[in-house]
Amino acid sequence: MREFFLKLASARGEVPADLLIKNARLVNVLSGEIYRESIAVMDGRIVGFGNYEAREVLDADNMYIAPGFIDAHIHFESSMLTLPEFSRAVMPHGTTAVVIDPHEIANVLGLDGIRYVLNNLNLIPLDVFVMIPSCVPATPLETSGAVITEKELKFMIYEEKVAGVGEMMNFPAVINGEEHTHWKINAAKWKKVDGHAPGVRGKDLNAYILSKIDSDHESTTADEAMEKLRKGMHIHIREGTSERNLHEIVPIVTKNNSFRFSFATDDKHPDHLMKEGHIDYSIREAIKMGMEPVTAYQIATINTAMHYNLKNIGAIKPRYWADFVLLSDLEDVKVEAVYKKGKLIFRKGSTEWSFSGTLPSVRSTMNPGDITKSDISIKAEGNKIRVIDIIPGQIVTDEFTADANIVNGKADSDIKNDILKIVVIERHNASGNIGKAFVHGFGLKKGAIGSTIAHDSHNIVIVGTNDRDIFTVFEHLKKIQGGLAAVENGRVIGDLPLPVAGLLSERPFEQVVRNLTSLREQVHKLGCRHESPFMILSFLCLSAIPKLKITDIGLIDVSRFRVVPVFTQ
């Protein structure tokens, strides 16, 4: 209590504050105003507004001061960075807190993966709030490295940094009343349950919301988002690397309903974090579209804190942590400095915080068993094939039927028509499972590329023009203990090792970006013109998102939630 009474005395003006920020224009996300103000900080917390004596005085020189930004929903693993390096990547952009769903590492390592995340939190200044993954595995239509039941959820829900239960991806089970799925939802107790309802509408949406799920980040159209909003869902406006929905959804935001929205990135590659930014990018784009600046800053801060009941963050007010951003331009979101608990973390041109601790370790996660090149061939069982059709800018796919390219009794890639072989090889239990199919829209003219990031169970996914290169990618990914790789004419032309669960690099942020950029350039030389080919590749395995996907057990018709044959009439 002594520390509190000292802060109380400071708030009364009887004891000097640690820091006084003067000549600032406060973006007050509580009152919806912007006005000149001085702000006092003591022991990491805001203690008052006005003129105070302080040990240190910061002249903001007419800059704007706003609360630190909050990402409402992100799988940090998509950055391919450890949490310390992820912090270095996002905090210079004004982010001081994130709500993460460590769904990816949990699907590989289970509770050990979640513990790995929690053991990182005392190493970083970034506030990380964890939504315990609800779908490990995401669906019964793939093989994951672990299983998390309602018992584990009940065990973890009381952790201080746990904000609730992560996105409930198995929406058919929710809607149809599958008992174990609802036990998982109920394990959240008084905390939040995140939703995942792509294309769920009408009475099915009513049933989904009835089941205690009241947020969603999967709306891809304004009409879908509006229905969910009207039925009481909190809408995460998603703008990531391959999932870009902001420009579609922002037009439905008004002053009367804006408190029901948050910004989220979901999945964002490290090169896009470096090039575009993080939540600052969403604020900037929303303002460009005509959103009132204060509204955009509310969506980026207090709305998320209020939705998840995150204590003492999201606004600048007495008692809250002194997490704030200094901006030279409000609308262009030009970040000049970032403070966390009253300490300078970033100043434009330099980073004031660097990681110096010891990272926790995890076990090896590459166990695909004995696979030969002949195992990835597809025996011709007809003349027509189902083809996964990539939709640019979306993680949903379409499908169509095409003539099979049959050579010596086997179905091969049809490079001329951009119909390429895709395989998914189970890597956790040496089961020998291999899903084999075809995909359109990748654009490769030669070679093959592969990854151990394959949502959501993160088996090995490879797309290529020929079996030799596909198999060479597989062997190289085994050798480097997971990661990304590209091959041409049997030779590895680029890779990015991800030895932590086959998902994360232990290299510095800048090095990972350089490595990924170089690898992408090599993939472009193979003919693929997608800006983020490995992100697209990873989502072709996501059997919880329509329409046609592939896992280690085969080709998945998501709308019918079942395996379907590659060959069709």
Query: What pLDDT, on a 0 to 100 scale, did the predictor assign at position 359?
Result: 80
Question: Is 384 in contact with 569 (CB distance < 8 Å)?
Answer: yes
Give tens-digit pLDDT for 490-508.
999 999 999 999 999 999 9
Give tens-digit pLDDT for 357-395.
778 888 889 999 899 999 999 999 999 999 999 988 778
Give tens-digit pLDDT for 289-312.
999 999 999 999 999 999 999 999
Give tens-digit pLDDT for 246-265.
999 999 999 999 999 999 99
Compute the average pLDDT of residues 409-423: 96
Nearest to 255 by CA among 291, 279, 210, 306: 291
Residue 349 has pLDDT above 80, yes or no: no
Query: What pLDDT, on a 0 to 100 scale, did the predictor assign at position 560?
Result: 84
Residue type at 509 in one-letter notation = F
Give tens-digit pLDDT for 46-63.
999 999 999 999 999 999
pLDDT > 70 fraction of the chain, expressed in percent and rounded: 99
Question: Is 418 in contact with 443 (CB distance < 8 Å)?
Answer: yes
Query: What pLDDT, on a 0 to 100 scale, did the predictor assign at position 495?
Result: 96
d(CA 401, CA 438): 10
- Superfamily of domain 71-314 in the CATH hierarchy: Metal-dependent hydrolases (3.20.20.140)
Residue 331 has pLDDT above 80, yes or no: yes
pLDDT > 90 fraction of the chain, expressed in percent and rounded: 88
Q: Which CATH entry fits the domain spanning 2-62: 2.130.10.10, 2.30.40.10, 3.40.50.720, 2.60.40.3880?
A: 2.30.40.10
Q: How confident is the model at residue 356 (pLDDT cuts 50, 70, 90)?
A: low
The CA angle 116-120-121, to the nearest 5 degrees, is: 125
In a 10 Å sphere around its CB, with 0-12 CB exposed, 13-18 middle and 19+ buried, how is residue 5 labelled?
A: exposed
Residue 85 has pLDDT above 90, yes or no: yes
Residue 350 has pLDDT above 90, yes or no: no
d(CA 240, CA 155): 31
Question: Is 213 in contact with 175 (CB distance < 8 Å)?
Answer: no
Q: Which residues contact 149 (CB under 8 A, 6 or more apart)?
A: 180, 184
Q: How confident is the model at residue 544 (pLDDT cuts 50, 70, 90)?
A: confident
pTM: 0.92
Distances (CA, A) of 391 to 388, 397, 418, 539: 10, 6, 14, 11
Residue 186 has pLDDT above 80, yes or no: yes
Residue 559 has pLDDT above 90, yes or no: no
d(CA 189, CA 184): 10
Structure tokens at 462: 């490879």
d(CA 459, CA 552): 7
Query: What pLDDT, on a 0 to 100 scale, did the predictor assign at position 351?
Result: 67
In a 10 Å sphere around its CB, with 0-12 CB exposed, 13-18 middle and 19+ buried, how is residue 548 labelled?
A: buried
Nearest to 283 by CA among 326, 315, 328, 237: 237
Helix axes 83-90, 509-525, angle to 10 degrees: 90
Which string of DSSP letters, residue by residue, matches 41-105?
Answer: EETTEEEEES---EEEEEE-TT-EEEEPEEEEEE-GGGGTB-HHHHHHHHGGGTEEEEEE--HHH
Locate CATH 3.20.20.140 in the chain.
71-314
Locate CATH 2.30.40.10 in the chain.
2-62
> What is the DSSP secondary structure assignment for residue 142, as one 8-state letter?
S
Residue 99 has pLDDT above 70, yes or no: yes
With b for 16 or more beta-carbon neighbours within 10 A and e for fewer, the 262-288 pattern comes to bbbbbbbbbbbbbebbbbbbbbbbbbe
**3-class secondary-structure state, position 195:** strand
**3-class secondary-structure state, position 513:** helix
Average pLDDT, the chain: 94
**3-class secondary-structure state, position 548:** strand
Compute the average pLDDT of residues 339-359: 82
In a 10 Å sphere around its CB, with 0-12 CB exposed, 13-18 middle and 19+ buried, how is residue 372 labelled?
A: exposed
Query: What pLDDT, on a 0 to 100 scale, did the predictor assign at position 58?
Result: 96
> What is the DSSP secondary structure assignment for residue 364, as one 8-state letter?
-
Sign of CA dihedral 84, 90, 94, 99: negative
Question: Is 257 in contact with 303 (CB distance < 8 Å)?
Answer: no
Give the rounded distance of the alpha carbon of 378 from its chain centre: 34
